[in-house]
Structure 1
Amino acid sequence: MHRGILVVLVFNVVVSTVMVMSSHHWFSVWVGLEINTLSILPVLCGQFFPRSVESTVKYFLVQSLSAAMVLNVVIVQAWLYSSWCVVQPLNVFTSLVMVLAIGLKLGLFPCHYWFPDVVQGVGFIQGLMLSTWQKLAPFVVLVYVVGSVNVVFLGILGVLSVLVGGWGGLNQSQVRKVLAFSSIAHVGWIVSVLGYSVGVGCVMFFVYIILNTGVFMLGDKFSLKSLASLSRLVFINPVGGFCFLLGVLSLGGLPPLFGFVMKFLALGCLVSNGVYVVGGFLVMGSLLSLFFYLRIAFNSSLVLFPQHVLSLFVWRVSGSQGGFSLYSAVLSVFVSVNLLGLSSLSVFLAFLN
């Protein structure tokens, strides 16, 4: 793909997201979501491999169904209340359909089935966009309607997403699929808390973007397609292997690392609202996810992943050359954030006051 075309497409993706975030009319919100989807499609299949084209078609079909559901909901709202304003409360039926439509875009249970397969079929940078930026506009729409949605219903969807994300990642050997199931679990955490505190949910979403960005960029830097290639990374680039280890453990939410901020804020919000059952199930689902996070860390730092390859070292690893670049600078920033740990907790608590 020509660089100028890529710049225009990325610019459209950014503008469409800003359009959704700044709109107060349902039709402009729907137009922003559609522009966002149509602009990202050529980026997903830019290399034009059969697998990436297949994933792009799947993504297009899922997003088209979701956009159709959103449009039908807003038409019903306009027919019932003669209003296209996003602050108009939804009734029971339209709120249910809207949550399912947004769940398709976010990869939330029970609409998560497409997300791991699509992320596996595209590159790391495209998977990063699907896991972070492409969820920003649907997340804003969910914030618009969260006041009309039953918080118990959101809590159930969040708990099931965390359990499915943890259970689905246990038997995976592909790094991108593991990160996709991890994304499903993290979105479940965010949605469970969003019904009780929009501020805490927004801070958790911001932390989730930082964590995922660092891990996906490391995976793209060292071409970590499977856990077998990850086990050789520590011998080829010890610093890269150590940083990836920290990023994965931070996704698991271990206390010294930055990812614990997300779990701490979520559990604090749930306990303060007396939602102990949801918090307990979220912790149980998080333990499932922590199992395969520790499995990745163990295989990447202590032992070799089980494999049938006789050669231990891969002498030509893409992206392992030295030198300074903007990509390396951005990567170092996001990786170094994971080292801040609990020292940055007070900064994020300040945003809630």
Structure 2
Amino acid sequence: MNPYVLMILISSLGLGTTLTFASSHWLLAWMGLEVNTLAILPLMAQQHHPRAVEATTKYFLTQATAAAMILFAATTNAWATGEWDINNLTHPLASSLTIMALALKVGLAPMHFWMPEVLQGLGLTTGLILSTWQKLAPFALIIQMAPNTNPMLFTTLGLLSTLIGGWGGLNQTQLRKILAYSSIAHMGWMIIILQYAPQLTLIALGVYILMASAAFLSLKMASATKMSTLTAAWSKSPILASTTALALLSLGGFPPLAGFLPKWMVLQELTKQDLPATATIMALAALLSLYFYLRLCYAMTLTIYPNTTNASTPWRTYTTQSTLALALMMTLALGLLPLAPSVMALFA
């Protein structure tokens, strides 16, 4: 892609998210979401592959449906209350419809069906943008609407997302689909605690972005898109295979890695709110996710690619890709747990 076109598209992504962050009027927030969607579509279709075009079309139709629902809900609220303010979405029908539309935008269950298929048709870099940056603007609106929304709706969405995200990734062999179900499960952890402690939602979102960035960049460095490809990772680069396995375990919430931090805090807050059954279900759903991460780690570190030669592996070559972003994200994704008190003080 032309560097100038790429710069314009990336700038438009930032503009759309910033516009949604800064707006208190529903039309401006809706406009920011639409700029975000339109900016990522050329990035998704740049491979000129039928699968990429199919994924782009599915994503566009899904996001257009969600945008229409948001506009309809905002109009309904304006008709009922006479206000376009985001914080004053007091009409029950409008608030519930808007939350469902935003859940469709970020891929929360049961509106998650588009996400694995779309992510499977994209490159790892575009998939990283879709899994991280594209969730910021809808989550900003969900956080603003949380005080005026039925708490049972958040609990239902959170439990369904963690269960389906864990269950759906069990029988997958495509890495991008596994990361898509991982994203659905992590969204559930963020949304279920939003009504009780919004700062924990921000912590969970920030840590997830770091972990997902480390995982996507690692797989891009290893040129791996299927589980069978991971079996050659140790022969190519033992250090990269080791750090990628640790990043995947961090995504699963394995202590003492950084991914354990948000899960620990969320379970602690749920028990404080006298919700032991909900906390138990969330913890068991986390074990489902941890299982398919362990499958990937087993394929990377304990499996050797079939090899008939006795010579040293001939394909171990030096990469020309930049490793600065990967090193930074990997360090943060693995070592944030000791900074837990500082992180909590920052968001308190």
- Quick one: which amino acid aligns to residue 216 of structure 1? F
**How far apart are the structure 2 equivalents of 1:298 and 1:233?**
11
Given that 2:234 and 2:304 are in contact with CA atoms closer than 8 Å, whether structure 1 keeps it comes out as no
**How far apart are the structure 1 equivalents of 2:137 and 2:37?**
11
1:47 Cα shift?
1.7
Q: Which runs of 5+ in 1 are unaligned?
A: none
- Find the counterpart in structure 2 of residue 217 from structure 1: 217
SS in 2 for 1:104: helix
Does residue 201 of structure 1 match 2:205?
Answer: no
**How far apart are the structure 2 equivalents of 1:125 and 1:300?**
21
| Stretches (4+) displaced over 3 A | 309-317
- Find the counterpart in structure 2 of residue 349 from structure 1: 344
- Find the counterpart in structure 2 of residue 35 from structure 1: 35
Given that 1:256 and 1:341 are in contact with CA atoms closer than 8 Å, whether structure 2 keeps it comes out as no
Given that 2:80 and 2:91 are in contact with CA atoms closer than 8 Å, whether structure 1 keeps it comes out as no
**How far apart are the structure 2 equivalents of 1:149 and 1:262?**
23
Given that 1:228 and 1:304 are in contact with CA atoms closer than 8 Å, whether structure 2 keeps it comes out as no
Does residue 61 of structure 1 match 2:61?
Answer: yes
TM-score, structure 2 as length reference: 0.95
**How far apart are the structure 1 equivalents of 2:336 and 2:78?**
47
Identity %: 36
Given that 2:190 and 2:204 are in contact with CA atoms closer than 8 Å, whether structure 1 keeps it comes out as yes
**How far apart are the structure 1 equivalents of 2:192 and 2:315?**
44
Does residue 229 of structure 1 match 2:226?
Answer: no
1:338 Cα shift?
3.0
Given that 2:247 and 2:334 are in contact with CA atoms closer than 8 Å, whether structure 1 keeps it comes out as no
Given that 1:175 and 1:226 are in contact with CA atoms closer than 8 Å, whether structure 2 keeps it comes out as yes
TM-score, structure 1 as length reference: 0.94
More deviation in 268-277 or 183-192? 268-277
- Find the counterpart in structure 2 of residue 150 from structure 1: 150
- Find the counterpart in structure 1 of residue 246 from structure 2: 246
- Find the counterpart in structure 1 of residue 11 from structure 2: 11
SS in 2 for 1:100: helix
1:94 Cα shift?
1.3
Residue deviations 1:86-108, cap 9 Å, x none?
Answer: 11133221122111101111100
Query: What is the 5 A alignment of 1:271-350?
Result: 271-304=271-304, 321-322=318-319, 327-350=322-345
- Find the counterpart in structure 1 of residue 136 from structure 2: 136
Given that 1:233 and 1:300 are in contact with CA atoms closer than 8 Å, whether structure 2 keeps it comes out as yes
Given that 2:235 and 2:313 are in contact with CA atoms closer than 8 Å, whether structure 1 keeps it comes out as no
**How far apart are the structure 2 equivalents of 1:134 and 1:279?**
28
- Find the counterpart in structure 1 of residue 164 from structure 2: 164
- Quick one: which amino acid aligns to residue 85 of structure 1? D
Residue deviations 1:322-349, cap 9 Å, x none?
Answer: 46x6x31111001112331421212211
- Quick one: which amino acid aligns to residue 266 of structure 1? V
- Find the counterpart in structure 1 of residue 189 from structure 2: 189
SS in 2 for 1:253: coil
Residue deviations 1:258-294, cap 9 Å, x none?
Answer: 1001111111221121122211111111111111111
- Find the counterpart in structure 2 of residue 120 from structure 1: 120
SS in 1 for 2:223: coil
- Quick one: which amino acid aligns to residue 92 of structure 1? P
- Quick one: which amino acid aligns to residue 338 of structure 2? S
Given that 1:89 and 1:147 are in contact with CA atoms closer than 8 Å, whether structure 2 keeps it comes out as no
- Quick one: which amino acid aligns to residue 276 of structure 2? Y
- Quick one: which amino acid aligns to residue 328 of structure 1? T
Residue deviations 1:11-42, cap 9 Å, x none?
Answer: 00001101100101110001111111011100
1:303 Cα shift?
2.5
**How far apart are the structure 2 equivalents of 1:164 and 1:279?**
16
- Find the counterpart in structure 2 of residue 77 from structure 1: 77
**How far apart are the structure 2 equivalents of 1:76 and 1:304?**
59
1:316 Cα shift?
5.2
More deviation in 340-349 or 130-139? 340-349
Given that 2:56 and 2:118 are in contact with CA atoms closer than 8 Å, whether structure 1 keeps it comes out as yes
- Quick one: which amino acid aligns to residue 321 of structure 1? Y
The number of residue pairs the alignment matches comes to: 346
- Find the counterpart in structure 2 of residue 265 from structure 1: 265
Given that 1:255 and 1:341 are in contact with CA atoms closer than 8 Å, whether structure 2 keeps it comes out as no
Residue deviations 1:98-155, cap 9 Å, x none?
Answer: 1110111110011000000100100001111110000110101101111111222211
1:194 Cα shift?
0.8
SS in 1 for 2:4: helix
**How far apart are the structure 2 equivalents of 1:27 and 1:299?**
48
- Quick one: which amino acid aligns to residue 79 of structure 2? W
Q: Which runs of 5+ in 2 are unaligned?
A: none
Given that 2:227 and 2:296 are in contact with CA atoms closer than 8 Å, whether structure 1 keeps it comes out as yes
**How far apart are the structure 1 equivalents of 2:231 and 2:330?**
19
- Quick one: which amino acid aligns to residue 243 of structure 2? C
Two-structure CA RMSD over aligned residues (Å): 1.7
